[in-house]
């Protein structure tokens, strides 16, 4: 065999990531997103792949020129909805389970994403942005090149005034004056034209996280509908799905059919006025019911199988930004919630990584009998999947290990979990776990050939005491080729947040330092997540003091090796 070499920065271009595993309702097939770096453009390219849950060779399922993401199975498992930019902007497309030509479902002016099927498979909810500058009749018409150039010129030439704190982000740039709204669109049969979408949410607020009630009559969603979006508040709301004769339905039009003639000037003006009035009426009539009460930060709402209870992940700011999320069970008809309270477990995934792609995480899921709720949980740097009994009994570990499970879905029976997981030494792959048999199967090994070329560092876990007796936890990554008794330079990595954590996840930055001959020390000082509420709250009002001493104590401990 060829001698192994050390990792170099250029290897980043060869890394492959997998994410967003979606197991089919019958548990037979897993759709997932596979992302690589295009060798010419050096830009990421994503495709949807399929893998048999019983094992077998994964195969590419979509072939878009750029990015196909967000695969979502129809309830009957016959159709896959996904998001693609193959036509320019990101839109929602449909494709049969066994392949064939994809069909475009939406043609929203500012793109579309986050598809969610209704329980009967007749509709899909999605998100698309709406701004005050939009003419109503253009929302279902794709942007022309002239439209895009006009927007670019306006952004370049005109000064803008911002009245919000979060006016810019590193990824998206300057924020346009638009808000994400939830829409619903019927699913057409083969050969039918693109249908008319109906706007469900209204107002100058971002809405997202749509979920359907079991009877398909209501949608629950998350939003901060206060007048100050800088407040870290987010509530869960419930609203009826608009009917065919509602003002919301009258405030939209179907996308124009290919080759259709543009309406005349007078006809266009009349249509615009009609849509404007209907939109005003729809916005005035939009009165969603606030389920969570306006005092906390909530997300991931899910209706129980019988539709009587809404499970919500979040908190009521008891410890301000240091509050760990819990499971709240709200009666759908109204009333006080019941809380599944286990303060030593953090619900969600706060483990940091620098290669793993962003994704929806492990989906919050009710068991089919409604007796328990399955969620991701972070503990001591690992992200696992737990089941929380609705009775309030102690939670049960379903799938764990020294790794980060960063995405996953259950099949219809609740017996199979498809998930994506990585570790300190692996970027991530797709797995299936049979909960009945207790068996796990690995479906992909996307970086196996590359990783076989490389000599990887040894990593040692650390458990030690702080100067005041608190228990601390972390890791040291030894230099590649480490020799006992020889001195090496040491780099102390410090995570931000502070309410996040290092853990069993791949960091290219640390691996490169180890390959260059450095030792790398990374720990979770007080304020980090994954060690209980008292630990994460220990630095609130005292930032840069106890956490600093924890880091220095870690250095002293590492130097005793």
Question: Which segment of 85-99, 258-272, 351-365, 480-494 scores lowest on mean pLDDT?
Answer: 258-272
pLDDT of residue 104: 95
Q: For residue 130, give Cα distances in angstroms to 114, 139, 498, 503, 527.
A: 15, 8, 34, 39, 38
CA dihedral over 104, 108, 110, 112, signed as positive or negative: negative
Q: Which residue in 417, 437, 338, 416 sits closest to 376, CA to CA?
A: 417
What is the mean predicted confidence (pLDDT) over 417-445?
A: 97
More confident residue, 23 or 334: 23
Q: Is residue 99 part of a domain?
A: no
**Average pLDDT over the chain, rounded to whole?**
92
In a domain, 101, yes or no: no
> What number of CA atoms fall less than 13 Å from residue 199's CA on the CB side?
31
Residue 432 near residue 58, CB atoms below 8 Å: no
- Which burial class, exposed, middle or buried, applies to 138 when counting CB atoms under 10 A from its CB (0-12, 13-18, 19+)? middle
Provide, rounded to the nearest whole percent, the portion of the chain with pLDDT above 70: 97
Residue 216: exposure state from Cβ atoms within 10 A (0-12, 13-18, ≥19): middle
Q: Are both 500 and 438 inside the same structural domain? A: no
**What does DSSP assign to residue 248?**
H
More confident: 171 or 520: 520
pLDDT tens, position by position, 258-280: 767 777 778 878 888 888 888 99
Q: What is the pLDDT of residue 253?
A: 83
- Residue 141's pLDDT band (cuts 50, 70, 90): low
Whole-number pLDDT of residue 263: 73
Question: Residue 36 is part of a domain; what is its CATH number?
Answer: 2.120.10.30
Return the CATH number at 546. Answer: 3.40.50.1820
- The reply to whether 139 and 280 lie within a common domain is yes
Residue 137 has pLDDT above 60, yes or no: no
Q: Give how many domains the chain has, as a whole number.
A: 2
Residue 559: phi and psi, rounded to 5, are: -70, -10
Are 479 and 357 found together in one domain? no
What's the pLDDT at 140? 64
Alpha helices in 416-543 (DSSP H): 448-452, 508-515, 533-536
Question: Is there a single domain that holds both residue 410 and residue 282?
Answer: yes
Give me the pLDDT at residue 136, please.
55
Contacts of 394 (CB under 8 A, 6+ apart): 342
Mean pLDDT, range 217-231, rounded to an integer = 89
Does a cis peptide bond (omega within 30 degrees of 0) precede residue 498?
yes
Domain endpoint, select from 423, 449, 475: 449
- What is residue 270's three-state secondary structure? helix
Residue from 23, 69, 63, 15 nearest 42 by CA: 15
Q: Tell me the C-alpha to C-alpha distance, in Å, between residue 157 and each of 134, 146, 153.
A: 19, 16, 6
Same domain, 414 and 466: no
Q: Which of 400, 421, 449 is the last residue of a domain?
A: 449
- Which domain range does residue 539 map to? 458-558
pLDDT at 158 > cutoff 90: no
Is the per-residue pLDDT at 491 higher than 70? yes
Whether residues 229 and 126 share a domain: the answer is: yes
Domain match, 349 and 467 both: no
Which has more confidence, 319 or 495? 495
**The token pair that represents 272 in the structure block:** 């615009």
Mean pLDDT of the 433-446 span: 97
Are 363 and 221 in a shared domain? Answer: yes
Query: Are 359 and 20 contacting, i.e. CB atoms less than 8 angstroms apart?
Result: yes
Those residues with Cβ within 8 angstroms of residue 347's Cβ, 6 or more apart along the chain or in another chain: 313, 324, 325, 326, 327, 375, 376, 377
Can you tell me the distance from the alpha carbon of 281 to that of 286, in angstroms, rounded to the nearest whole number? Answer: 9
- Residue pLDDT, tens place only, 78-134: 999 999 999 889 999 999 999 899 999 999 989 999 999 999 999 999 999 998 777
Q: Report pLDDT digits (tens) over 522-556.
A: 999 999 999 999 999 999 999 999 999 999 999 99
pLDDT value for 244: 85
CA distance 142 to 9: 40
Distance separating alpha carbons of residues 62 and 123, to the nearest angstrom: 22
User: Is the residue at 157 inside a domain?
Assistant: yes
CA 234 to CA 243: how far, in whole Å?
A: 27
Q: Are 99 and 84 in contact (CB under 8 A)?
A: no
Residue 243: inside a domain:
yes
Distance CA 450, CA 468 (A): 45
Q: Which of 392, 426, 449 is the last residue of a domain?
A: 449
> Do 20 and 72 form a contact (C-beta atoms < 8 A)?
no
């Amino acid at each position: 065999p060829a001698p192994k070499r050390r990792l170099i920065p250029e290897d980043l271009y060869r890394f492959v990531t997998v994410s967003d595993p979606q197991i089919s309702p019958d548990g037979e097939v897993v759709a997932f997103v596979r992302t690589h770096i295009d060798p010419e453009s050096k830009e990421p390219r994503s495709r949807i792949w399929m893998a048999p849950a019983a094992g077998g060779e994964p195969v590419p399922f979509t072939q878009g020129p750029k990015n196909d993401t967000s695969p979502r199975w129809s309830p009957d498992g016959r159709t896959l909805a996904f998001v693609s930019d193959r036509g320019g902007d990101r839109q929602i497309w449909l494709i049969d389970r066994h392949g064939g030509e994809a069909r475009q479902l939406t043609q929203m002016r500012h793109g579309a994403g986050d598809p969610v099927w209704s329980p009967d498979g007749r509709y899909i909810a999605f998100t698309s942005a709406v701004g005050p500058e939009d003419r109503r009749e253009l929302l279902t018409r794709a942007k022309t090149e002239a439209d895009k150039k006009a927007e670019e010129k306006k952004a370049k030439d005109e000064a803008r005034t911002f009245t919000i704190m979060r006016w810019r982000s590193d990824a998206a740039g300057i924020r346009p004056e638009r808000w994400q709204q939830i829409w619903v669109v019927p699913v057409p049969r083969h050969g039918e034209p693109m249908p008319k979408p109906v706007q469900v949410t209204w107002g100058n607020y971002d809405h997202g996280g749509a979920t359907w009630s079991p009877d398909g009559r209501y949608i629950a969603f998350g939003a901060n509908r206060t007048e100050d979006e800088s407040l870290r508040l987010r509530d869960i709301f419930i609203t009826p799905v608009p009917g065919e004769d509602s003002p919301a339905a009258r405030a939209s039009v179907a996308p124009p059919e290919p080759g259709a003639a543009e309406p005349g000037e007078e006809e266009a003006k009349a249509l615009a006025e009609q849509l404007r009035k209907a939109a005003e009426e729809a916005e005035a009539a939009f009165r969603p019911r606030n389920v969570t009460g306006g005092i906390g930060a909530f997300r991931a709402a899910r209706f129980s199988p019988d539709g009587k209870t809404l499970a919500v992940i979040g908190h009521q700011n008891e410890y301000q930004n240091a509050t760990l999320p819990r499971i709240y069970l709200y009666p759908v008809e109204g009333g006080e919630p019941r809380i599944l309270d286990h303060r030593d477990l953090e619900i969600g995934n706060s483990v940091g990584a620098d290669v793993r792609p962003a994704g929806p995480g492990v989906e919050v899921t009710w068991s089919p009998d409604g007796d328990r709720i399955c969620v991701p949980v972070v503990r001591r740097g690992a992200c696992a999947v737990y089941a929380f009994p609705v009775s309030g009994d102690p939670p049960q570990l379903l799938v764990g290990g020294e790794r980060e499970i960063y995405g996953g879905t259950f099949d219809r029976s609740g017996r199979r979990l498809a998930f994506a997981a990585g570790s300190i030494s692996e970027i991530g792959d797709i797995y299936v776990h049979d909960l009945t048999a207790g068996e796990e199967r690995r479906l992909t090994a996307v970086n196996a050939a590359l990783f076989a070329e490389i000599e990887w560092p040894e990593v040692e876990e650390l458990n030690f005491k702080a100067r005041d007796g608190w228990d601390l936890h972390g890791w040291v990554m030894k230099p590649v080729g480490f020799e006992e008794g020889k001195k090496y330079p040491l780099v102390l990595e410090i995570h931000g947040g502070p309410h996040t954590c290092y853990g069993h996840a791949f960091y290219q930055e640390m691996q490169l330092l180890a390959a260059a001959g450095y030792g790398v020390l990374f720990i979770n000082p007080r304020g980090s997540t994954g060690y209980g509420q008292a630990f994460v709250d220990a630095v609130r009002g005292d930032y840069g003091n106890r956490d600093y001493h924890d880091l220095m104590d870690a250095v002293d401990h590492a130097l005793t090796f």
